[in-house]
Amino acid sequence: MKSETVIFLNPNQIILIRNLQKELCAVTYEKIPERKSIICLPILPICVKNEELKEKAKITKAEPFGIYIEENKILLKIEMRIDGKESFGRIEVCELIFKNKDSGEDFRLKSEDFSEIWEKFAPKIKKISPFRLVQMETEENENGIVWRVLKEKWEKI
Amino acid type, 88: F
pLDDT, greater one: 76 or 2:
76
Residue 76: count other Cβ atoms within 10 Å of its Cβ: 24
In the prediction, which pLDDT does 67 show? 92
- 75-93: pLDDT as tens digits: 999 999 999 999 999 999 9
Report the distance separating Cα 47 and Cα 6, nearest Å.
6
Q: Which of 120, 13, 11 is nearest to 63 (CA)?
A: 13
- 97-131: pLDDT as tens digits: 876 655 545 556 777 878 888 888 888 888 998 99
Q: What is the pTM of this model?
A: 0.86
